[in-house]
Amino acid sequence: MKKIQFFDTTLRDGEQTPGVNFNTKEKVQIAKQLEKWGIDTIEAGFPIASVGDFEAVKAIAENVETMTVAGLARCQKADIDRAYEALQHAKHPQIHVFLATSPVHMEYKLKMTPEEVIASIKEHVSYAKTKFEKVQFSPEDATRTEKNFLLKAVQTAIDAGATIINVPDTVGYSNPTEYGALFKFLIDNIQSEQEIIFSSHCHDDLGMATANALAAIENGARRVEGTVNGIGERAGNTALEEVALALYIRKDFYQSESSITLNETKRTSDLVSRLSGVAVPRNKAIIGANAYAHESGIHQDGVLKNPDTYEIITPSLVGVNENSLPLGKLSGRHAFAAKMETLGYQLNDEELKDAFKRFKSLADKKKQVTEDDLIALMVGQSQECNETYRLGCVQLQYVSDGSQGAIVSIDTGEETKTESAIGSGSIQAIYNSIDKILGQKPELKEYYIKAVTGGEDAQAEVHVTLADTENNRQFNGIGIDFDVLQASAKAYVKASEQFQKEVGKA
């Protein structure tokens, strides 16, 4: 059995999903869960991109124990220096240097000749090696690069000190046959006295990201890069949970294993989904709500007789449990703290005090407080701690012509503003009031509600996507509350905060 390393780029490539923006606290929280899940290397961000990215990479480097922490850098010394500064306190640091090698990128984006690209790879990988023991190099847009030039670029990086070579299918152009053959070609032709790890990085533009990653493994790759839930640029990245389960269920074929703790998969997926505001499709492989549901009478009959008839993955394998151990309104602080620790939350005294107060309020309203409720509670707490805008009161009234009226107040950090507006329904009235307070006119692209848990006392989880149509940008917000209208207002305020920050910069 060969060991396949898992490289997670949820916090770097995944954050490039339109509308997704994690704050530092959320990134550290996700990083700790990824470590618990069994990720070998986390790409914590692009340190030179912004002060926020730098601080997040630095915070993750200081808070994880077993994972290698990587920072992204272009072939520029300033990028490499910034990555070193962010990662200098990491227990296991790594740098990921990249430069495009395809004709279209070299001519139109880089405006460099092939000779200049090779010289830059040599210079900057060598420089990175003076600061990092682990150096990874990626020839961006590798699958649209002429094969012999790609080999020359990869060999140059290896000669300069890179020990990890990533072969990115940057635009999701390749297919399993081609992509697997490309790995075989490179592995068969590189010259190196030391061990070189080849890694896949695939995008899902043609729906083949997971298949391409597995084809790479079949042809010698020993590392796979991707994101939780497959989030990322355009159609997204390789979904790491899909690769992990494929290797496990079909180990007879792939003869491979990983360090992924499979029963932490659903919890990891749920955390990323809630903090990103990107819902998991119901029919999503491995972790979708329908993945272990059977409606066909024939299927139901088969599963009742023997689950193996229609289930190759048991729900418990990925952490989907029929029953959870609920806490209630009589539960004490110690039991609550212990439960939160098992869910992966390390809370200081102040955070625990606030979380327990919220839990008690929740327990007074619900018959049972499930793990999903607790995770939702923590997501809400995390968001409120980092909010600039805080929702105050929401008041509704019926207008005689059949319209709805709303009065909303928001604490903007400088003052509390209150406005009223009408709409064809209560949600529209609330949103029109918020728009008046913030002086904005975004386009509401998406609005949907789902229940955090089952039952009539379930909390409502509302997802909102706003669009800046002039600049073609989107902003996601999520709100959780017992009251659907309150949850809707929270989600809109959260998305509006991002809208205000970004559109204000434009």
CA distance 92 to 502: 34
CA distance 317 to 262: 6
User: Are the C-beta atoms of residues 35 and 64 closer than 8 Å to each other?
Assistant: yes
Structure tokens at 240: 């790491």
* DSSP character at residue 250: T
201 annotated among ligand-binding-site residues: yes
Strand 256-257 vs strand 2-3: parallel, antiparallel, or unpaired? Answer: parallel
DSSP secondary structure of 154-174: HHHHHHTT--EEEEEETTS--
User: Are the C-beta atoms of residues 277 and 476 closer than 8 Å to each other?
Assistant: yes
Stretch (H or E) spanning 5: strand 5-8
Stretch (H or E) spanning 322: none
DSSP-H helix ranges across 366-483? 371-385, 426-438
How many other β-carbons are positioned within 10 Å of the β-carbon of residue 422?
A: 15
Contacts of 363 (CB under 8 A, 6+ apart): 327, 328, 329, 331, 369
Q: CA dist 120 to 126, 139, 165, 333, 445, Å?
A: 10, 12, 16, 57, 43
DSSP secondary structure of 256-301: EE----GGGHHHHHHHHHHHHT-PPPTT-TTTSTTTT---SHHHHH
Q: Output the CA torsion sign for 32, 37, 40, 44.
A: negative
13 annotated among ligand-binding-site residues: yes
Annotated binding site for Mn(2+): 13, 201, 203, 237
Binding-site members are 13, 201, 203, 237
